[in-house]
Each structure stands twice: as C-alpha cells, then as structure tokens.
C-alpha cells in the first residue's frame, strides 16, 4: 500500500488562523478531539491484532478525556503563563489524554513498544514512573506523542499524552488524586505515609500477579505438550 502526503504539515497555530471565522477555542478542541480519536482507534487495532494472534489482549480498557477549560487555565497560571490559545498549545501537553489500563506490568512495556513502532506517531517524550516512581509513590508509564490529523487541505501534528498503567496502579492513582484534591496538596503526613505504603503494596501485588500469570501460562504449555506427545 503506498501513501503520499498531498498536503503539507502545518503547525497548530497556523491551523487556527485558517479557521479565522470560527472560534479558535472550538478549533483547538476539534483538533485535539480528532487526535484523540485517531490514537484510540490505533490502540484498539493493536489490541485486536494482539488478541487475534496471541489470543490475549494487553489492554483491559481505554479511557480518553479532553482537559476542561478550567484545568487548562489553572495549569497555565500555575506554571506562570498567561491564559492564551498560543500558550495552551505550546505549554500544555495533556489537553488530549489517553489512559491505557493493563493487567500486568509486562503488558505496559509491550504496549509502549508497539506504540513506538507506529510509523505515523512521533514519540516526543517518555517518562517511566514505573522504573522511577514519584515521591508520592505514583507509578505509570507516560508517553507524549504527536499524531497527524488529516484535514481537508492540511495535516496538523497534534500532541496526545498516553498514560499506561496496571489496574492496581490505576486504583492507587485515582484514590491518591482524590486525596490530593481534597487537601489541595497538603494532606496530613499520616495519610501521605499510608498512601506510600499502599503504593508499595500495589507494586508487590503487581509482581505477584505477573509471576502467577507466568506460572499459569507455563502450566498451560506443559499440558499442551503432554497432549501433543
Ligand atoms: P502535570 O502538570 O501534573 O501534568 O505534570 P507534568 O507535566 O510534570 O507531567 P507528569 O508526567 O509528571 O504528570 C502528568 C500526569 O500524570 C498528571 O496530570 C496526572 O494525571 C498524572 N500524575 C503525575 N503524578 C501523579 C501523582 O503523584 N498522583 C496521581 N494520582 N497522578 C499523577
Ligand atoms: Mg496532567
């Protein structure tokens, strides 16, 4: 299959100018929503292909979200930038976000590799908070990618943040997030400490589940060999 790019790739700022008569906020949201759809479909295809070949799906589920205008403005201000369309495109990397929830840590690295191999996705940055957890105990694998959004007369490379984590890491992160918001970042020390302990338990559980799964697979293989011989 050959594929030629008939249209040039343009910057998001220029894409906005092309729609001068349309509200630029709406243009931005339209572009990021389109990028999110592209990435979600790609990931579903990878998951389906994996299931088709290996009878196993590395993704348990996919969550997508567009950052709300309130959180965009808050984040810009927090980082010392004026709230403007230009700054949000330049400095906010997680306007479009995808979260991939897996069963095992091995699935995370398998998925990250598959994503990295997609020729039309550009991996801009990787943050491996599994190998290097955050002080809070937070673990996840983050990839910032850019995906080409094909419009009627141009192509716009659009950033999407992909977070990959296990079910257990996700469980921890959602509770920690709630607590963080509840106390506006100043949770009592005993709560933060308990959370860090829970993060340790999550890591141990993930390791245990992975080795248990490997043991199960080994048993299945052995049974198969027994039947075939
Ligand atoms: P943000 O300004 O929070 O987006 O951080 P960043 O731009 O330095 O990027 P980073 O990769 O550290 O974090 C991006 C996202 O990861 C956040 O928006 C959260 O969704 C998630 N995250 C990072 N750290 C934590 C944490 O300690 N707890 C939880 N629950 N989520 C976190
Ligand atoms: Mg964020």
Return the pLDDT at 75.
Answer: 95
87 lines ligand 1 (CB under 6 A): no
pTM, two decimal places: 0.92
* Structural domains for the chain: 3-168 (3.30.460.10)
Among the listed residues 113, 161, 204, 221, the single catalytic one is: 161
Blockwise average pLDDT, block size 10, the chain, 229 residues: 66 78 83 97 96 92 95 95 92 97 96 96 98 96 97 92 98 95 89 95 97 93 85
Return the pLDDT at 1.
Answer: 47
- Residue 123 CA, ligand 2 centroid: distance in Å: 17
What's the per-residue H, E or C state across the chain? CCCCCCCCEECHHHHHHHCCCCCHHHHHHHHHHHHHHHHHHHHHHHHHHHHHHHCCCCCCEEEEEECCHHHHHHHHHHCCCCCCHHHHHHHCCCCEEEEEEECCHHHHHHHHHHHHCCCCCEEEEEEECCCCCCCCCCCCEEEEEEEEEECCCCEEEEEEEEEEEEHHHHHHHHHHHHHHHHCCCCCCHHHHHHHHHHHHHHHHHHHHHHHHHHHHHHHHHHHHHHHHC
- Residue 97 CA, ligand 1 centroid: distance in Å: 11
Return the pLDDT at 173.
Answer: 97
65 lines ligand 1 (CB under 6 A): no
- Residue 94 CA, ligand 2 centroid: distance in Å: 6
């Amino acid at each position: 299959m050959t594929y030629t790019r008939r249209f040039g790739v343009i910057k998001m700022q220029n894409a906005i100018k092309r729609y001068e008569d349309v509200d630029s906020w709406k243009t931005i949201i339209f572009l990021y929503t389109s990028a999110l759809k592209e990435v979600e479909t790609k990931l579903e295809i990878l998951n389906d292909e994996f299931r088709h070949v290996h009878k196993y799906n590395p993704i348990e589920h996919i969550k997508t979200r567009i950052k709300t205008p309130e959180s965009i403005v808050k984040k810009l201000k927090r980082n010392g930038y004026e709230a403007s369309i230009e700054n949000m495109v330049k400095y906010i990397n997680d306007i479009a976000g995808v979260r991939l929830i897996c069963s095992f840590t091995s699935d995370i690295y398998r998925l990250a590799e598959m994503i990295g191999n997609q020729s039309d996705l550009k991996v801009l940055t990787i943050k491996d908070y599994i190998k290097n957890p955050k002080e809070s105990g937070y673990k996840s694998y983050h990839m910032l990618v850019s995906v080409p959004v094909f419009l009627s007369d141009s192509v716009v490379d659009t950033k999407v943040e992909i977070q990959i984590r296990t079910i257990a890491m996700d469980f921890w992160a959602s509770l920690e997030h709630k607590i963080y918001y509840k106390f506006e970042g100043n949770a009592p020390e005993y709560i933060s400490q308990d959370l860090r302990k829970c993060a340790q338990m999550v890591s141990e559980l993930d390791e245990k589940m992975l080795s248990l799964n490997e043991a199960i697979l080994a048993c299945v293989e052995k049974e198969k060999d027994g039947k075939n011989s």
